[in-house]
Amino acid sequence: MRKALDLIDRVDPSHRISFAGADQRVSAQAYFSESLIILGFFDAAVEEKERLMRNFDQLDKPFDIAWHLLVQCQLCALLGQYEELLDNARKIVRFVSVMATRRVEAAASGGVAMPARI
């Protein structure tokens, strides 16, 4: 997985493909941290999730934001930070609600739904 992430890093972000609606780097890094958890490398998984969250402010695509919020929820669950977990889960629900509303509005007007920041 680290080699895959290294390969992705060499690709210009504007040429990366979308995976599950997110930049392939975002989703690959999330899956990598999940793999570390499954293998029992909890400290490495926490480190990887924290690395993923450091880049949160640079996101502008709605699904990248959603992936990051999900990763943050997983990290909070791992660390026993349940209040922050609940707060991030609420952000995801608000985010999905806003995106669904914008999508309906865009479809009604024939326009394109624009992402909203949380």
Beta strands in the chain (DSSP E): 18-19, 22-23
Domain that includes residue 62, residue range:
2-109
Please state the domain count of the chain: 1
Residue 117 lies in a domain: no
Residue 114 lies in a domain: no
Residue 38 lies in a domain: yes
Q: Is the pTM of this model over 0.85?
A: no
Tens digits of residue pLDDT in 3-56 = 877 777 777 877 777 766 677 777 787 788 888 888 888 888 888 777 777 766
Residue 6 lies in a domain: yes
Give the domain CATH number at 54. Answer: 1.25.40
Residue 118 lies in a domain: no
